[in-house]
């Protein structure tokens, strides 16, 4: 049977787009098709522009410390078109007791900054003497065990900023597998981190300064990345407004069904967020969980004609502060041209895993709550010039109880079903760099498999 395509990719978010781009780039003759439910590509990546302001529904950027992401920028010709904000210059703040505490940029400065009392700093060193914590602890339990409880508000802020999550629910093995490995290999995070730093210094060469990564975006916002990838993949290879409703393995590959069409392919990539993958793949083998929790947020955008922001990227508020908002990004500090000349803009996040009820508020109420909250922390003129509520199209998958079982189920499923690849938002992390890294390795495996199949066919031709 001849396949309609060599590879079908379900979902044209960043994951699906990067896989398609990588395959096309190395094998232009590979016949692939991306099927996308929505009318545009990019998934949760979407920039918003109005009245001279630029904001984001989804991601604001990615750190340029990932080789695969840097390679993607080069391949797409976007390397020169980036805007970058170095972590060396841009500090962050955590709101503690209704005050913004600046987090210094180097471990030594953090150690000496007045973030926690001195006796608690000595408790942090207790990490050197603690055995690895067994089981699958939550982030909060694990951090308290290793470093003591004084650091918890800061740890909470980190996971509010990345997952919009609840660190009493997120599992440390799922959200920081690398850190957990340091714990098991070196018996201590501090020892492991020092060993890593020594190795990296040796690789850089003695005396070479440590490069701090930069937050990276584009002058017209993050949407530039999926737009450029879609251009390179070619409109003829992406079908929009087409939701995949079922997938089936056949004798010769995969059959993919939509409301009114059927497609055949040798390889099937399900490049969807965890919950959407589960719905599609359940008939192949029931998963141990029907779904995982997601954290949804709304972004309140505020533009001011006068007023200034503290230097830096922005701040995060741990739950114990009991504030209305999760944190604020100082957008006009981070990247140029985010606001009209002489104006400032910041984006304040509301909702998350712990406060989904706030997302039910109408725009006016949500804006009023968010503005009252940030006014207690920032020095602002009485009224904003511009306001807007952005509600992203997707939630952030939460890697909580049962996630490790789900990963095992996914791994078993792909082992049992040749030609099936499952990746995307939440499967191997949640950040853009995670998606780009995994997409690169999936595309390599698909190309290798196609090559093997082709070689087998050629050998058969010789003998028969
Ligand atoms: C609010 C928010 C802020 C974020 N901020 C950052 C950040 O600052 N930095 C960072 O690194 N990461 C951030 N992330 C994470 C980052 O955006 C994701 O890692 C990444 O965009 C996920 O891409 P994806 O393609 O895997 O999934 P998605 O973007 O969800 O794409 C999946 C695609 O599949 C389509 N689809 C779904 N079901 C079907 C179906 N049945 N048939 C066909 N198509 C289907 C969807 O329409 C969608 O286009 C953020 C995420 C969110 C939600």
276 lines ligand 1 (CB under 6 A): yes
The pLDDT confidence band at residue 307, using thresholds 50, 70 and 90, is confident
58 lines ligand 1 (CB under 6 A): yes
- φ, ψ at 280 (rounded to 5°): -75, -35
Q: Please identify, by atom number, the ligand 1 atom nearest to the C-alpha of residue 11.
A: 34
Residue 54 and residue 221 in contact, taking contact as beta carbons nearer than 8 Å: yes
Token duo for residue 173: 């093995």
The count of residues in the chain is 464
The vertex-298 CA angle with 297 and 304, nearest 5°, equals: 140
* Higher local confidence (pLDDT), 459 or 420: 420
Strands (E), 377-433: 386-390, 396-397, 420-423
Q: What is the pLDDT of residue 111?
A: 85
In the chain, what percentage of residues exceed pLDDT 90?
Answer: 88
Q: Please identify, by atom number, the ligand 1 atom nearest to the C-alpha of residue 35.
A: 43
Residue 347 and residue 301 in contact, taking contact as beta carbons nearer than 8 Å: yes
* Spatial distance between the Cα atoms of 352 and 327, rounded to a whole number of angstroms: 11
Q: Is the pLDDT of residue 453 over 90?
A: no
DSSP per position, 194-233: HHHHHHHHHHH-TTPPPPPPEEEE-TT-TTHHHHHHHHHH
Q: What is the pLDDT of residue 458?
A: 64
Nearest to 13 by CA among 59, 55, 56: 59
329 lines ligand 1 (CB under 6 A): no
Token duo for residue 146: 């290793």
Q: Is the pLDDT of residue 459 over 60?
A: no
Q: What residue's CA is closest to ligand 1, atom 10?
A: 431
Pocket test for ligand 1, best of 8, 11, 242, 329 (most atoms within 8 A of CB): 11
Q: Please identify, by atom number, the ligand 1 atom nearest to the C-alpha of residue 57.
A: 1
Please give the distance, rounded to the nearest whole angstrom, from the Cα atom of residue 45 to the centre of ligand 1.
Answer: 7
Residue 247 and residue 280 in contact, taking contact as beta carbons nearer than 8 Å: yes
Please give the distance, rounded to the nearest whole angstrom, from the Cα atom of residue 116 to the centre of ligand 1.
Answer: 36
The pLDDT confidence band at residue 463, using thresholds 50, 70 and 90, is low
Radius of gyration of the chain from Cα atoms?
24
Which residue carries 């006068």 as its tokens? 306
Q: Is the pLDDT of residue 151 over 90?
A: yes
Q: What is the pLDDT of residue 160?
A: 97
Give, in order, the Cα–Cα distances in Å from 81 to each of 76, 78, 171, 330, 353.
Answer: 10, 5, 37, 21, 35
pLDDT (average), residues 280-295:
97
Residue 263 and residue 271 in contact, taking contact as beta carbons nearer than 8 Å: no
Q: Is the pLDDT of residue 416 over 80?
A: yes
Q: Is the pLDDT of residue 208 over 80?
A: no
Q: Is 70 helix (H, G, I), strand (E, B) or coil?
A: helix
Which residue carries 């997707």 as its tokens? 394
User: Per mean pLDDT, which range of 48-57, 85-94, 169-178 is the poorest?
Assistant: 85-94
Q: Is the pLDDT of residue 218 over 50?
A: yes
Token duo for residue 286: 């029931």
- Domains in the chain: ranges and CATH: 5-44+223-292+399-463 (3.50.50.60), 61-88+297-391 (3.90.660.20), 106-204 (1.10.3110.10)
Specify the pTM: 0.95
299 lines ligand 1 (CB under 6 A): no
The pLDDT confidence band at residue 202, using thresholds 50, 70 and 90, is confident
pLDDT (average), residues 245-263:
95
* Spatial distance between the Cα atoms of 154 and 291, rounded to a whole number of angstroms: 29
Q: What is the pLDDT of residue 360?
A: 98
Q: What is the pLDDT of residue 3?
A: 53
Q: What is the pLDDT of residue 408?
A: 97
36 lines ligand 1 (CB under 6 A): yes
Residue 142 and residue 107 in contact, taking contact as beta carbons nearer than 8 Å: no
Q: What residue's CA is closest to ligand 1, atom 34?
A: 11
Q: What is the pLDDT of residue 1?
A: 42
In the chain, what percentage of residues exceed pLDDT 70?
Answer: 97
Q: Are strands 5-10 and 32-35 parallel, antiparallel or unpaired?
A: parallel
pLDDT (average), residues 48-75:
97
pLDDT (average), residues 346-366:
98
Strands (E), 43-181: 47-50, 53-56, 62-63, 83-86, 92-96, 99-103
Q: Are strands 297-304 and 386-390 parallel, antiparallel or unpaired?
A: antiparallel
pLDDT (average), residues 239-253:
96
pLDDT (average), residues 71-83:
97
The pLDDT confidence band at residue 337, using thresholds 50, 70 and 90, is very high
- φ, ψ at 115 (rounded to 5°): -80, -40
Q: Is the pLDDT of residue 457 over 70?
A: no
Q: What is the pLDDT of residue 155?
A: 97
- φ, ψ at 296 (rounded to 5°): -100, 145
273 lines ligand 1 (CB under 6 A): yes
pLDDT (average), residues 403-423:
97
Strands (E), 91-193: 92-96, 99-103
Nearest to 328 by CA among 352, 303, 301: 301
Please give the distance, rounded to the nearest whole angstrom, from the Cα atom of residue 427 to the centre of ligand 1.
Answer: 12
* Spatial distance between the Cα atoms of 239 and 241, rounded to a whole number of angstroms: 7
Average pLDDT, the chain: 94
103 lines ligand 1 (CB under 6 A): no
Residue 33 and residue 8 in contact, taking contact as beta carbons nearer than 8 Å: yes
Q: First vs last Cα of the chain: how many Å apart?
A: 18
Please give the distance, rounded to the nearest whole angstrom, from the Cα atom of residue 271 to the centre of ligand 1.
Answer: 9
Q: Are strands 238-239 and 32-35 parallel, antiparallel or unpaired?
A: parallel
Q: What residue's CA is closest to ligand 1, atom 6?
A: 59
* Spatial distance between the Cα atoms of 238 and 243, rounded to a whole number of angstroms: 12
Within a 13 Å sphere around the CA of 15, how many CA atoms are in the beta-carbon half?
Answer: 29
Q: Is the pLDDT of residue 280 over 60?
A: yes
Q: What is the largest CA-CA distance in the chain?
A: 83
The pLDDT confidence band at residue 2, using thresholds 50, 70 and 90, is very low
62 lines ligand 1 (CB under 6 A): yes
Q: What residue's CA is closest to ligand 1, atom 48?
A: 43
244 lines ligand 1 (CB under 6 A): yes
């Amino acid at each position: 049977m001849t396949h309609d395509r060599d590879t079908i990719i379900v979902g044209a978010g960043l994951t699906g787009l990067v896989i398609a781009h990588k395959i096309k780039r190395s094998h232009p003759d590979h016949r692939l098709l991306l099927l996308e439910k929505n009318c545009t590509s990019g998934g949760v990546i979407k920039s918003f522009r109005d009245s001279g302001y630029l904001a984001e529904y989804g991601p604001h950027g990615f750190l340029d410390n990932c080789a695969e992401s840097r390679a993607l920028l080069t391949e797409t010709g976007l390397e020169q078109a980036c805007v970058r904000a170095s972590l060396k210059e841009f500090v962050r703040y955590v709101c503690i007791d209704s005050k913004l505490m600046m987090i210094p940029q180097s471990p030594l400065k953090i150690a000496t900054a007045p973030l926690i009392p001195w006796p608690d700093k000595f408790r942090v060193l207790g990490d050197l003497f603690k055995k690895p914590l067994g089981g699958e602890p939550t982030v909060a339990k694990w951090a308290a065990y290793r470093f003591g409880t004084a650091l918890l508000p800061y740890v909470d802020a980190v996971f509010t900023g990345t997952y919009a999550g609840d660190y009493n629910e997120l599992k440390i093995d799922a959200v920081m597998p690398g850190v957990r490995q340091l714990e098991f290999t070196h018996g201590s995070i501090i020892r492991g981190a020092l060993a890593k730093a020594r190795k990296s210094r040796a690789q850089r060469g003695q005396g070479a300064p440590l490069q701090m990564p930069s937050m990276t975006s584009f002058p017209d916002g993050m949407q530039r990345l999926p737009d450029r990838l879609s251009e390179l993949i070619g409109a003829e290879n992406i079908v929009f407004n087409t939701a995949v409703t079922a997938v089936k393995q056949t004798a010769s590959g995969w059959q993919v069904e939509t409301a009114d069409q059927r497609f055949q392919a040798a390889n099937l990539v399900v490049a969807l967020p965890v919950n959407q993958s589960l719905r599609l793949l359940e008939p192949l083998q029931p998963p141990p969980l029907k779904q995982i929790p997601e954290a949804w947020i709304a972004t309140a955008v505020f533009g001011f004609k006068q007023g200034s922001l503290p230097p830096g990227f922005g701040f995060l508020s741990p739950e114990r502060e009991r504030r209305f908002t999760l944190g604020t990004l100082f957008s006009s500090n981070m990247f140029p041209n985010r606001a009209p000349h002489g104006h400032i803009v910041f984006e304040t996040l509301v909702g998350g895993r712990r406060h989904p009820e706030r997302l039910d508020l109408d725009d006016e109420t949500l804006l009023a709550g968010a503005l009252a909250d940030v006014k207690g922390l920032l020095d602002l003129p009485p009224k904003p010039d511009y306001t807007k509520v952005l509600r992203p199209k997707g939630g952030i998958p939460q890697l909580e109880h049962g996630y490790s079982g789900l990963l095992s189920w996914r791994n078993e499923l792909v082992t049992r079903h040749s030609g099936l690849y499952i990746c995307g938002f939440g499967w191997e992390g949640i950040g853009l760099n995670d998606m780009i890294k995994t997409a690169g390795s999936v595309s390599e495996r698909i190309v290798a498999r196609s090559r093997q199949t082709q070689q087998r066919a050629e050998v058969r031709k010789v003998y028969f």
